[in-house]
Amino acid sequence: MDPETFWHSRAWLRYVHADAKYRRLNPFALLLTVLARLSALTPPNVTVQVSPHDRPMSLNLNVVLVGAAGTGKGKTLREARELLPTPEGNRMQVKKPRTGEGIVTAFVDRAELRDEEGRIHKGQYVNKIKTDRVLLELSEVTDLRTAMAGEGSTMLGTLLSGFSGETLGGNTRTARSNVTLPPNTYRLSSVIAAQPSQCDVFFANAEVGFASRFLFAPAGDPLAPDVQPPAPQDTFPALAAGIPQGPDDAQLETLRNRDGVPYPHGAGMLAWPAHVIHLPLVAAREADRLQLLGTRGELGDLDAHRLEPAARLTALFAMADGREEAGEEDWALANTCLHFSDDARSDCLARMQAASHRRKVQRAADDKLAKVEAEAEVLAQQVNRAKEIILNYLTKHDAGREGKNRGEFTPRLKRIPDEARTAAFDELVQGGEIDTWPSERGTVYALAITPPGV
C-alpha cells in the first residue's frame, strides 16, 4: 500500500496526518504513539488470535521515536495525549520505570496482612492490585540505558517478557516484593524517545530479540512544507470509545492464581470477560510462513518477532473502528506500518553506526594527540633536568673555564635520552648560559663569562 492510499484509507488516519503536518510533526510517529496509547488503554482481557491453531496473543505495543534534539519527540508524546486522552474510569497509568521490579509493582503491590482489629500478621502479605494496564513513557532513552546498566538489573528481562505478554516477576529475596504477573493479567505498552546515536541500547541486544519487539518511527519530518498547512477542521474520533470493559480485581486475582490460563468456557472464572479479535485468512497464511522460517532458524534477529507487531497493529486498526473482527484492509494497513518502521529502523541503525564510528575516530585522534602531547611533555622535563645537571657539573668542576667535553657529562646524564641531552646543550648555548668551542678533546662546554641578564 502506497503512503497516499494509506493516509486516506480512514478518516481518522487523514486527521492524524493533517494534524501532524499542521503541528510540524512526523505523521507516522504521531500515529504509532496514538496506537501505543490505544493499546495501553485496552484491558488485558482483549487479545488477538492470528489463526485457529495459534493461541491468542497480547496487544502490547512498543514504539521508538527516533530523532535528534529538536525534532519533536516530546511534542509528539504530548499531542498523542491530546488526541487520545485517558477516558474517565480507565485504569491505564503512565509510568517511568527505574527497575524491572518497579514495572511489576506498578501493577500489583504487596501489603502486610492485618486482622479485623488492624493487627499486622508478621511475614504475611496480601496482593493489592493497582491497575491492569500501564504505558511506559520515556522521553529520554538514557533513562532506559541507566536502568538496564545496573548490576543485577532485571529491566531487560522484564521488558522482553512483558512485550511478549509472558509471565513477569517471580521469586525475589523478600516476600514483600515477591509478585508474579501471569499472562493475560496485564497490559504493558511503551513509547520511548531516542536520539539515533543512543539507539545501541536496542541494537546491542538484537540477538535476544529486543529491537525486533519495537516499531520505529522518525520524529522529524524532512518532507515538511515551507508554508505551514492549515489545522484539520473536523473532529478527531474517540478511538477509545469502543474499548471493551476490563476485568475487575476479583477476576484478575482468580486468573493470577491460574497462572493466566482461563478455565474452559469461563467456568470458575467469575465470567471472565474475554474479547478475542480474529484476523483474516491472509494473516494466518503469513503467520504460518513466518513461523516456518522461525522454526528453521531463517529469520534474522531484527525480524524474529515480526508477526507480533503485525497482528497487534491489525487488531488495533479494527478496534479503532469499533470492530472485533479484523479484515484484510486492517492487515494491509498494519503491514504498511511495518514497512514504514523497517525504513525508520534501517535509517536509525545507519545513523547510530555512523555516530559510533565518529566517536571511535575521535577517541583514536584524541588518544594519538594525547600521546604526542605526553611525549612532548616528557621530553621537555628531561631537557630541563639535563640542563640542571650540566650547569651544576660545570659550576662544581670547571671554575677555571677549561671546558668539559660531552663524554665527561655522560656518567651524570646516563638516564637522560640522547635526544634530550642534545636539546639541553643546544638550549643552554642558544640561551647564552654556556659557551662552547672546539679543542683537542673535541667540542667543550663551559659556563658563560657573562650569564644572560647580567
Which pLDDT tens digit goes with each residue over 286-335?
Answer: 888 888 888 888 777 777 778 899 999 999 999 999 998 999 999 999 99
- Does a structural domain hold residue 118? yes
Looking at the predicted structure, is the pLDDT value of residue 427 above 80? yes
Q: Are residues 313 and 180 in the same domain?
A: yes
Shared-domain flag, residues 15 and 124: yes
Model pTM score: 0.79
The answer as to whether 419 is a domain residue is: yes
Cβ atoms of 229 and 21 within 8 Å: the answer is yes
One domain for residues 104 and 47: yes
What average pLDDT score do residues 221-244 get?
90
100 and 172 in a single domain? The answer is: yes
Count up the domains in the chain and report the number: 2
Q: Is residue 381 part of a domain?
A: yes
Mean pLDDT (whole number) for 21-31: 96
Q: What percent of the chain has pLDDT over 70?
A: 93
Domain that includes residue 430, residue range: 368-447
Whether residue 37 sits in one domain with residue 113: yes
Residues 6+ apart with CB under 8 A from 42: 59, 133, 187, 243, 244, 319
> 303, 326, 349 — which closes off a domain?
326
| Bigger pLDDT: 94 vs 153 | 94
264 lies in the same domain as 379: no
Select from 265, 298, 326 the last residue of a domain: 326
For residues 322 and 397, membership in a common domain is answered with no
Same domain, 80 and 175: yes
Mark whether 393 and 292 lie in a shared domain.
no
| Per-residue pLDDT tens over the stretch 338-355 | 999 999 999 988 988 888
The answer on pLDDT for 124 being more than 80 is: no
Say if 21 falls within a structural domain.
yes
Q: Name beta bridge partners: 278.
A: 49, 325
| Contacts (Cβ under 8 Å, ≥6 apart) of 393 | 404, 408, 409, 412
The answer to whether residues 308 and 372 belong to one domain is no
Please answer whether residues 207 and 160 qualify as being in contact, where contact means their C-beta atoms are separated by less than 8 angstroms. no
